[in-house]
Amino acid sequence: MSVPVPAVAAVAFCPAPPLLLPAVEGRPDDTTTALRRACTDAVAALLAARPGVVVVVGSGGAAGDRFGPGDAGDLRDLGVDVEIPFSGPAGPGGRRVPLPHSLGAWLLDETGSTATRVGVGPDDLGPLVSSVPGPVAVLAMGDGSARRTVKAPGYLDAAAEPFDAVVAAALRDGDPATLAGLDPAEGERLLASGVPTWRAVGALLAGHPVTGRLHLDAAPFGVGYLVADWTVP
């Protein structure tokens, strides 16, 4: 039996640290400048597929949440008075958007996207993609392990770097099966917040040829930052 062709034409994978925003970073730093450039390059590659809809997927919301026009995120919990509309101006009845989706919206704004945007959690990615006409692009937001060094948020764990290396290779090689098969319990133990999102993207594209390109594989603050783009023929 043949595998149904997904509506997804392209995927960009980006981490979701608050310092991705210049307002949070404060003084410019070479590390964050390189991260930001890698992310915008990956998103630009995603937009080159000319999607009619961009689905921003990440953790942080409730099951069944869908974010769209009028919704917005903010960074007030971090002491930064910045509001990030998800799609168009924030509305008085808009919902609060989780940080990964807010940063995804910011990246789309930075790269000039005019496509329709929808934000969902990992569990809702497949059902949403199957319900909208293609071409669809997916902006997958999530970090690698936060246990890469002794100064990392979760302290050093010897398994963290090999775990992130498996993900980096899968992103580089366009390997959905490896992403779909990531161990969620190990990802949670290693504080790799991107695992649910990566698994969802992998499951969505399982069995399909994918061309991958890895833009960044680094852990400057003890957290794995992986940036890549995929195209789906």
What single string gives the DSSP state of each residue in 41-78?
HHHHHHHTT--SEEEEE-SSS-TT--B-TT-EEE-GGG
Domain total of the chain: 1
Q: Is residue 1 part of a domain?
A: no
Q: Among residues of the chain, what percentage have pLDDT more than 90?
A: 78
End-to-end CA distance of the chain: give it in Å, rounded.
Answer: 20
What CATH number does the domain containing 200 carry?
3.40.830.10
Tell me the average pLDDT of the chain: 93
Residue 191 lies in a domain: yes
Average pLDDT over residues 149-169: 95
Report whether pLDDT(27) > 80: no
The verdict on residue 121 lying in a domain is: yes
Looking at residue 6, its pLDDT comes to 63
> 3 falls in which pLDDT band (50, 70, 90)?
very low
Q: Is residue 210 one of the residues assigned to a domain? A: yes
Average pLDDT over residues 194-204: 98
Range of the domain at 178: 8-231
**2 belongs to a structural domain:** no
Pair type for strands 225-231 and 211-218 = antiparallel
Q: Establish if 187 belongs to a structural domain.
A: yes
Average pLDDT value for residue range 120-136: 92
